[in-house]
């Protein structure tokens, strides 16, 4: 059905801030795997960190927020056919190890293996024309309905990470939550929290993002530079916050919001992903006031069906978040913009064409 070439274009990470468009062989699949022609791949801060700080060894082909078309199905791969439009999921846990039994899926040894590659050591591979999808991540592959785009499919993975974090907060309807940072991730937090019945306060430094936050369900919005921000937030919260989501890598925001939480409140870290950094905290707030500091990282494959329903029904409409599209050969430009966004930039995509 599909005429598959022997070689393809791919953007190869060759070292610190060094991305090169190269020609690679189209990956060969095993009998229990899929070959997918990439349609769209989102630019994720996780990959930006690897590129800009050199936290992994080259060469690699990054890109893991991927959607495309199945063009070859291994004879032992079940449930898929050539022509299926799919969203991919590059990490899937084993579901039976010690970590999985505690629902700490991102700590599972199998989860830490990347199951999608365009060549070299598996690293997602979405910045290429074709990817090989290994058997152990097939449970995370989702078929895209005819009415929905590859772009929406590519957003399932980041939405999943946010829904996982929302569930880790274990909030009650009517709770007041501050979402600090209204980039693509913060806006998804705002919408999902609003859908679950929370009263959301959204803050950011960019006025246009605060306008979108209102459309995504924020009850109140404020500029994060406001000198009276704390008083304003506590007035809206009618005493103290029930929770804060820190969707920006700011230690000052962490310290401020720990003070603004009520006893028993929860502070969720979502953007502090660089190792080796430290900050001072008033630990009696955690011990005596019983405030929880929670981390959440990566996705939860058990939420994948729910995430698909939210995105494909457009109950969480991700389309307003998609602002910039670059062809594969301009991937380095896409990464640069996503790392240093302009006022009008939210989610940046690397685009192969098609719908």
Whether the Cβ atoms of residue 221 and residue 202 lie closer than 8 Å to each other? yes
Whether the Cβ atoms of residue 36 and residue 71 lie closer than 8 Å to each other? yes
User: For position 172, which CATH number holds?
Assistant: 3.40.50.720
CB atoms within 10 A of CB 339: 15
Pair 12, 150 in one domain: yes
Pair 29, 12 in one domain: yes
Pair 334, 223 in one domain: no
pLDDT of residue 352: 84
Residue 355 has pLDDT above 60, yes or no: no
309, part of any domain: no
pLDDT of residue 82: 98
- Domain end point (choices 295, 327, 343): 295
In degrees rounded to 5, what are phi and psi of residue 274? -85, 125
Pair 267, 346 in one domain: no
Pair 53, 37 in one domain: yes
305, part of any domain: no
347, part of any domain: yes
Domain count, the chain: 2
Report the percent of the chain where pLDDT is more than 70: 99
119, part of any domain: yes
Pair 65, 28 in one domain: yes
Pair 100, 33 in one domain: yes
Identify which of 59, 78, 56, 81 has the alpha carbon closest to the alpha carbon of residue 70.
81
Pair 264, 324 in one domain: no
Q: Which domain holds residue 343?
A: 7-155+318-351
121, part of any domain: yes
Q: Strands 85-87 and 65-73: what pairing?
A: antiparallel
The span from the CA of 153 to the CA of 320, in Å, is: 14
Which tens digits make up the pLDDT trace of 97-148? 999 999 999 999 999 999 999 999 999 999 999 999 999 999 999 999 999 9
CA distances from 329 to 51, 125, 161 (A): 16, 14, 28
User: For position 89, which CATH number holds?
Assistant: 3.90.180.10
Pair 15, 150 in one domain: yes
284, part of any domain: yes
Whether the Cβ atoms of residue 150 and residue 354 lie closer than 8 Å to each other? yes
Pair 275, 178 in one domain: yes
Which tens digits make up the pLDDT trace of 328-348? 999 999 999 999 999 999 999
Pair 226, 338 in one domain: no
149, part of any domain: yes
Q: How confident is the model at residue 354 (pLDDT cuts 50, 70, 90)?
A: low
The span from the CA of 108 to the CA of 41, in Å, is: 25
Residue 182 has pLDDT above 70, yes or no: yes
Whether the Cβ atoms of residue 83 and residue 69 lie closer than 8 Å to each other? yes
In this prediction the pTM is 0.96
CA distances from 307 to 98, 114, 153 (A): 25, 21, 10
Which tens digits make up the pLDDT trace of 18-39? 999 999 999 999 999 999 999 9
CA distances from 214 to 163, 191, 196, 338 (A): 19, 9, 16, 23
Length of the chain measured in residues: 355
Non-local CB neighbours of 80 within 8 Å, separated by 6+ positions? 34, 70, 73, 86, 138, 141
* Joined tokens for residue 332: 């380095």
* Joined tokens for residue 257: 């919001």
**Given its phi and psi angles, is residue 318 left (phi above 0), alpha (psi -120 to 50 degrees) or beta?**
alpha
Pair 26, 85 in one domain: yes
Which tens digits make up the pLDDT trace of 265-312? 999 999 999 888 899 999 999 999 999 999 999 999 999 999 999 999
311, part of any domain: no
- Domain end point (choices 262, 295, 328): 295
Whether the Cβ atoms of residue 92 and residue 137 lie closer than 8 Å to each other? yes
Across the chain, what does the average pLDDT equal?
97
């Amino acid at each position: 059905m599909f005429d598959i070439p022997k070689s393809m274009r791919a953007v190869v990470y060759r070292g610190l801030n060094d991305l090169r468009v190269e020609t690679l062989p189209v990956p060969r699949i095993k009998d229990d795997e899929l070959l997918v022609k990439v349609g769209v791949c989102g630019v994720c801060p996780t990959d930006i960190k690897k590129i800009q700080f050199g936290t992994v060894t080259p060469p690699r082909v990054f890109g893991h927020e991927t959607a495309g078309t199945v063009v070859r199905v291994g004879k032992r791969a079940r449930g898929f056919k050539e022509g299926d439009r799919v969203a991919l999921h590059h990490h899937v846990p084993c579901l039976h190890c010690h970590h999985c039994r505690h629902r700490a899926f991102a700590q599972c040894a199998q989860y830490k293996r990347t199951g999608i590659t365009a060549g070299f050591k598996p690293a997602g591979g979405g910045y290429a024309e074709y990817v090989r999808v290994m058997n152990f991540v097939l449970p995370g592959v989702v078929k895209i309905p005819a009415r929905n785009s590859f772009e929406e499919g590519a957003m399932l993975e980041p939405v999943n990470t946010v829904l996982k974090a929302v569930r880790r907060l274990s909030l009650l309807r009517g709770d007041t939550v501050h979402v600090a940072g209204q980039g693509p991730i913060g806006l998804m937090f705002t919408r999902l929290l609003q859908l679950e019945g929370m009263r959301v306060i959204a803050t950011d430094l960019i006025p246009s993002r605060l306008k979108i936050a209102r459309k995504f369900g924020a009850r109140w919005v404020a500029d994060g530079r406001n000198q009276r921000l704390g008083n304003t937030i506590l007035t809206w919260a009618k005493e103290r916050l029930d929770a804060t989501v820190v969707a920006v890598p700011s230690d000052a925001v962490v310290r401020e919001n720990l003070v603004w939480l009520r006893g028993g409140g929860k502070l969720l870290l979502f953007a502090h992903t660089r190792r080796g950094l430290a900050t001072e905290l008033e630990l009696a707030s955690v011990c005596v006031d019983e405030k929880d500091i929670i981390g959440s990282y990566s996705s939860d494959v058990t939420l994948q069906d729910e995430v698909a329903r939210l995105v494909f029904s457009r109950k969480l409409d991700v389309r307003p978040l998609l602002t910039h599209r670059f062809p594969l050969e301009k991937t380095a430009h896409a990464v640069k913009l996503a790392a240093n966004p302009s006022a009008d930039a939210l989610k940046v995509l690397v685009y192969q064409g098609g719908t």
